[in-house]
Each structure stands twice: as C-alpha cells, then as structure tokens.
A and B are shown apart, each in its own frame.
Chain A
Amino acid sequence: MSALLDIRDLRLGFKGLRGITEVLHGIDLAIAAGERVALVGESGSGKSVTARIILGLLQEARAARVSGAVEFDGRDISTMPARQRAKLRGTEMSMIFQDPTSSLNPTFTIGRQFAEVMRRRQPEMSREACDRRASEMLAEVSIPDPARVLSAYPFQLSGGMNQRVMIAMALVNHPKLLLADEPGTALDVSVQALTLRLMHDLVERHGTAVLFISHNLGVVREFADRVYVIYRGRIVEEGPTRALFDNPGHAYTRALMSAVPRITGAGLPEVPEVSDDFLAPMVRHTGGAA
C-alpha cells in the first residue's frame, strides 16, 4: 500500500545534562490519502512531538535526536534539506493548534494573514485574488460575513470564529495532510463540537488526510476513521475507530476507556495511574471497520 504518510521505527531523544532522554521508542504510523487518523494519548506520551517531526520542525532543534523514516508523499522528510522541508509547510501539509486566538498574529488583519499563506504556494497572487479565495474558504466554514472577518484583527473575533478562520486558512492551499493538535480544546464544548463537525465535513469534501492529535477519547471517536493509542512513546494499540472503541484490546486503552466519566452515570471505577500491563505488546485490530 502506498500511504500518503508512512512513519517507520521513528525514534526521538532529547540531549540533556544527564545524557539522552528517550521520548519516542520506535513508532510506526501510516495515513492513506484522505484518511482521518487520530493519535490519542495523555500528556507526555509523545503525540505532539510526533506532529512536530512530521512538520520537520524538531529535526532542526539542536538537542533533538531523530531517527527512523518519515515518508511524506514518497519523499523522506528526515533526510530532506531544511529548505525543502520548509517549503512543504503551509502548502503540502498544514497545522491547526489548540488555541486559535494565540496562533494568529494579532498585529495583522485576517485578510493579510490569508494572503501570506496563499502566497507561499503562489507568490504572484494579487491581494484581490487572495481576498476572493479567502472569502470562499470562510464561507465553507460557515462564516456568514467573510468581508467583515477579512478586515478584522484576531482579537476582534471570538474564539470559535478564530478557530474557523484557522481551519479555513489551514486548508486554503489544498494541503494533502492536515495536522490538528488538540484543536478546540481551549473552546467551549458546544463551540468545539460545532467546529469539529465543520472541520470533518470540510476535509471530507476536499479529500484532505488528517492526523488528529488529542487526549479526548470522545472527540476522537467522533472525528477519526482509525485510531492509534500512544503511551510513553510507544504505540500500544491501533485499529478502526469503531473496533477499537467497542473492543479495546490493550490494558492501557482499556484503562483509558474505563476512566472516562460517562453521562450515563456509570460511576468512577478504580483505575491504576500506572501499571506494568501498560507496557504489554501492541494490539492491532485487523479489518472489522464500521
């Protein structure tokens, strides 16, 4: 199978005063074109650093030791010169962050920031053409008055509005892969639910593949086709969303699932914070998609 993103035996260590701290211990992860894949884990599990390696950002950090293959669209990102990697960002792959308001530049209007993004792909694009295209994208994320939003500064818009702007901006260059790191976690639940639905529809329409990084199992269940569960730098379980949620096979995944409070009021079971079972070999679900 030729995947859009194919990560094999990815290892990461950070050099510190007391030697190298291993953060990722050999991760295998693949995403097909147009597929929505979630990487779910707790803080410190290595999910965000994985996204930063895919973007080619950590390779540039002095203290980071990255090894293994990260193939994107047939090219290995880890061996690519830094300038080529930089060219991919914002064009072939883009990213959405947790807090939309602080990831937009407060000193430029939304329209100007859109133009900057679009000119990464087409440097000659006129501002009028950029505004036209940006308006179309804003309409796609159900923003009723694109012209007003384009002339606004991020701090003049609500968090939910900024989140939609971020989604539109991330997709305006038709990237093949969208990395979404805890999108909307900083927003109210109802706004988060709405923006996730918008994002889901939009990537489906555009055929964009997504790596969705989250600690929230409920959100993952609603968004992703397939799920990887990561624990302390190792993938412990992988499978189609439905199969994995209905029948979690790994002790860590089972612990996570039972620890999530339910609106049905199932109570709060005694769940260990750490356990040797969490280091058991990886569980893979084959087939059985919903």
Chain B
Amino acid sequence: MSLLSVESLSKTFQTPSGPVHALRDVSLSVERGECLAVVGESGSGKTTLANMILGILAATSGTIRFDGRELPVRRGPEHRRAIQLVQQNPLSSLNPKRSIGASVRLGLDTYGIGARSERWARVEAALEEVGLPGEMRRRGPSGLSGGQRQRVGIARALACDPELLVLDEPTSALDVLVQARVLRLLNELRAEKRLTYVFITHDLAVVRNVADRVAVFKSGELVETGETARIFTAPEHPYTRSLIGAVPVVDEDELQLRNTLAGEQ
C-alpha cells in the first residue's frame, strides 16, 4: 500500500475574474521510503498540491489518503505530526525572536511528543542529526548562514518524528556548495530513517540526483510521471522535453544529453 495516494484531486479558486483551476484531476501515489519529485514552473499547481497534502488548503474535489486512511482537511495531531514541511526560505521560516531550540521544540510541545523533561534532549538530537552542534539550540537564528538555517528547518521537521516530508524548493535559495551538502544530507536521512519525500522543485538537475520518480505538472495538470531514470533517458511529453531543454548545463556530457532529449520531437 502506498504511504500517500492522491485520487482525482482538483482545486479551483474563485477570483473576481472567474474561476482559476489550480489543479485538475490529479492522481498519483508515493510509496513508503520513496522520493517523488514534483516538477513544474510557476502556476503549475505544485505548491497547491503541497498545501493540500499538508492540510493547509481544502480540495475542491478528490481525496488524499495517508497510510490507507482518507485525510480530512481538519486533521488530528497524529496526521499533522506525521506530515512535515521543509520550506524554501530558511530565513523567513524561523522566528527571529525565538532561540533555534525553541523553534525546533515547538512541534514537540504542540503534538505532545516525548515526556516534557526529555524534549530538550530530543531537540539537541535532531540538531545533531542534521550536522549541527546540539548546544546551538540556545542561539538565535540571526547569526546563522543560509545552509545552517536550512539544516535547522530540517531538524525542526525531523524532531516531530515524521513519516512524510514535503520539501518545497528546499535548496533553491542556497549557494551551490551548500546545496550539494544539504542534498546529500537529505538523501542520507531518507535512507537512514526510511522517510518518504515529496520534493517540490523547478530544478531538474537536482531532481535527477535525489528522486526515485518524477511527476511533471503544467498549468494544474499532471502531464507525465515516471521513474527518474526513464524521464531523463526517454521523456515522453513535449513539455517534459522542453523543460529538460531549458536546463543550464556545465559539461559536454550534459550538453549532449540535453540536446538529444530536447531535440527528439
């Protein structure tokens, strides 16, 4: 059974200039331990999908199942704990007036995870899991680098002992050296803890190196889905090919692959 399955999910926003179909009849599933990349440009519906998985938005129609059970919009603490978000901008996702530890601990207190007396230890353990010193919990977020902040963001999600992480462009704001290390960390954590990822990104080169499967969205519709290796050797949908064709490449092998994939019409 899939950990997450989305069935005929649609979301329509009513606006003064008429209805906007942000997501149309989308069905997909994510197996436990798998990383599914959700790829698309702005307006493709990828963030709308994430918000519905997280319970931030209600679907217009369709269902989301988690571990076999239908997920309501109003969720109990167990589901909220099990599905955690890692945001794009680690700068704005941490409260500047709280210590790092307090931000990480918030979920533990909210969902009542662990005994009260053990929670600081859990916070320190979560920080150490992402490669930060445990005593960093006493510091504020202002002195941290972008990479450290994103690690704190990941630690905050991990502290709740989640099953599914929704990663919304987790490395798009990071420098390339920092990005490489955070991506490696995410790969390691997934393997170690058997986590499941819904990895939202516009960066296909990142997708190639982190995802097991890819779902390509365009204007609210799922246009192609498949194993990562297949998408990057034989993309079927013209839109997938055009996305691959727009990737900036740095070496000859990549250039050749890109031209081959984008050229086959």
Asked if B203 contacts A261 (CB within 8 A), the reply is yes
Asked if A263 contacts B176 (CB within 8 A), the reply is no
Q: Which of B28-36, B51-59, B252-260 contacts A (4 or more CB under 8 A)?
A: B252-260
B138-189 residues with Cβ-Cβ distance < 8 A to A are 146-147, 175-181, 183-184, 187
A251-290 residues with Cβ-Cβ distance < 8 A to B are 255-257, 259-273
Partner pick for A270 among B176, B184, B245, B257, CB 8 A cutoff? B184
Asked if B253 contacts A264 (CB within 8 A), the reply is yes
Partner pick for B184 among A215, A222, A268, CB 8 A cutoff? A268
Whether a CB of chain B sits under 8 angstroms from the CB of A156 is no
A215 to B248, CA, bound (A): 12
Question: Which chain B residue has the least Cβ–Cβ distance from A256?
Answer: B176
With a cutoff of 8 Å between Cβ atoms, the chain A residues found around residue B7 in the complex are none
A42 to B252, CA, bound (A): 23
Asked if B242 contacts A42 (CB within 8 A), the reply is no
Whether a CB of chain B sits under 8 angstroms from the CB of A193 is yes
Q: Give the bracket for the number of chain A residues in contact with chain B.
A: 35 or more
How many A-B pairs fall under 8 Å by CB?
111
Whether a CB of chain B sits under 8 angstroms from the CB of A124 is no
Whether a CB of chain A sits under 8 angstroms from the CB of B78 is no
Whether a CB of chain A sits under 8 angstroms from the CB of B250 is yes
Partner pick for A273 among B178, B229, B251, B258, CB 8 A cutoff? B178
Partner pick for B229 among A43, A222, A265, CB 8 A cutoff? A265
With a cutoff of 8 Å between Cβ atoms, the chain B residues found around residue A256 in the complex are 176-177
Partner pick for B254 among A192, A194, A219, A262, CB 8 A cutoff? A262
Asked if B184 contacts A260 (CB within 8 A), the reply is no
Asked if B205 contacts A219 (CB within 8 A), the reply is no
Of A190, A193, A216, A272, chain B has the most CB atoms within 10 Å of the CB of: A190
Whole-angstrom distance between the Cβ of A30 and the nearest chain B Cβ: 25
B107-154 residues with Cβ-Cβ distance < 8 A to A are 146-147
Whether a CB of chain B sits under 8 angstroms from the CB of A74 is no
Question: Which chain A residue has the least Cβ–Cβ distance from B252?
Answer: A246
A266 to B206, CA, bound (A): 11
Binding site for A on B (CB under 8 A): 41-42, 146-147, 175-181, 183-184, 187, 202-206, 208-209, 228-229, 232, 242-254, 257-258
Binding site for B on A (CB under 8 A): 42-43, 188-194, 215-219, 221-222, 245-246, 255-257, 259-273
With A188-B202, A262-B251 given, name 14 new contacts (CB 8 A). Answer: A42-B175, A189-B204, A190-B41, A190-B246, A193-B248, A217-B176, A218-B247, A245-B251, A259-B180, A260-B176, A260-B180, A261-B206, A264-B253, A270-B184
| A-B contact list, 29 entries, CB within 8 Å | A42-B175, A188-B41, A188-B202, A189-B204, A190-B242, A190-B245, A193-B246, A216-B248, A217-B250, A245-B250, A245-B251, A255-B177, A257-B250, A260-B250, A261-B206, A262-B205, A262-B249, A262-B251, A262-B253, A263-B208, A263-B249, A263-B254, A264-B208, A264-B232, A265-B229, A268-B180, A268-B184, A271-B181, A272-B177
